[in-house]
Amino acid sequence: MGLQELWFVLIAVLFTGYFVLEGFDFGVGMLMPVLGRGKDAVADTRRRVLLNTIGPVWDGNEVWLLTAGGALFAAFPEWYATLFSGFYLPLLLILLALIVRVCAIEYRGKIDDPTWRRRWDLGIMVGSWVPAVLWGVAFANIVRGVAIDEDKQYVGGFFALLNPYALLGGATTALVFALHGAVFLALKTGDEVRADAVKLAHRLSIPTVVVAGVFVLWTQLAYGKGWTAILVAVAAVALVAVVALTRLEREGWAFVFTTVAIAATIVLLFGSLFPNVMPSTLNDAWSLTIENASSSPYTLKVMTWAAAIVTPVVLIYQGWTYWVFRQRISTHHIPKSIGLTVGAERS
């Protein structure tokens, strides 16, 4: 494997880690109106339980996106330039949504006022739904191919990105992340919050199997390769297993299989893409590939050494964080909401 192939694989790994970890963060935010329902005091307590499940880890999970974007810029600058200029509007919407979500998580507990918290809760929900949908739209378009001219510029419009395959990709990521988040909440919470999360996870699992199944099958038939059919089977089996496991209330194994389903789907997308990084629908000769979009061999070599040294440290630290905050959280762990700061909510 050459350095170009290696960094293509590493970028795929980074995005896989991001979607697995940030996927349940998005799911928690998406499901707050459903699992955080009730009268003011009850709803606030339940929503604080939901936020406490991701409180120690959500910002660390976002680092995977920053690292993936940095690696994309350094290893494949032509890919980065064409992607971020051509997909400027959807990526800007994702960025704005992530900023709103960050502010909402940090600020909702700053003032002890129900109206204040409800408004920030809306920001958490919107800031979770928008990226959950648009990431699927973006990656589906990357695999499908877009209008790239001979100067490596995207010449299609915004609405060209809203094709049926891409919209199905958006629906798939939204449903999978919602299911992933519901299973995560069932794994991390207790009492009535866990019971409701288990029920919701089972209800979400069936439509998710249908929509995601159509998407991965379409991907394989239209853009896949021979070996990627294995990934379609893995994703399908994993999602079907989630249906059974949520019914049996085996949320630990259900979370394992939602993780497998997400990972298999992302690897399917990258595997279908290779050796291209952004196919052109205008002319195959104008497609961006790992060869014509990459940095110099020296740059890739320096990056490889840096990644080999730093990556194990980051993985060990993040794994330790999850271990420390592994306990379940219940409503009786949440103190009365008077003058609490976000830091107190996370404790």
Q: Encode burial over 10-24: b for 16+ CB neighbours within 10 A, e otherwise.
A: bbbbbbbbbbbbbbb
Single out the residue of 297, 298, 300, 275 nearest to residue 288, CA to CA: 275
Residue ranges of alpha helices (H) inside 147-250 are: 164-188, 191-223, 229-247
> Rounded to an integer, what distance in angstroms lies between the CA atom of residue 300 and that of residue 256?
33
Phi, psi of 266 (to 5 degrees): -65, -40
Token digits of residue 87: 């997909």
Residues 6+ apart with CB under 8 A from 224: 232, 268, 271, 272
Q: Give yes or no for residue 303 having a pLDDT over 50.
A: yes
Helix (H, G, I), strand (E, B) or coil at 154: strand
Q: Round to whole Å and give the CA distance between 28 and 104.
A: 14
Q: What is the pLDDT of residues 57-102, one digit of tens each?
A: 999 999 999 999 999 999 999 999 999 999 999 999 999 999 999 9
**96: exposed, middle or buried (Cβ count in 10 Å: 0-12, 13-18, 19+):** middle
Q: What pLDDT, in 10s, does the model give residues 14-55? A: 999 999 999 999 999 999 999 988 777 888 889 999 999 999
The torsion angles phi and psi of 154, rounded to 5 degrees, stand at -75, 125
Q: Are 193 and 35 in contact (CB under 8 A)?
A: yes
CA distance 236 to 242: 10
- Say whether pLDDT at 278 is over 90: yes
Position 1 confidence tier, pLDDT thresholds 50, 70, 90: confident
Q: What is the distance of C-alpha 171 from the center of its chain?
A: 13
Give percent of the chain above pLDDT 70.
Answer: 97
Query: What local confidence, expressed as pLDDT, does residue 339 receive?
Result: 47
Residue 340 has pLDDT above 50, yes or no: no
Residue-averaged pLDDT of the chain: 92
Please write the tens of the pLDDT for every residue from 206-256.
Answer: 999 999 999 999 999 999 999 999 999 999 999 999 999 999 999 999 999
State residue 338's pLDDT score: 53
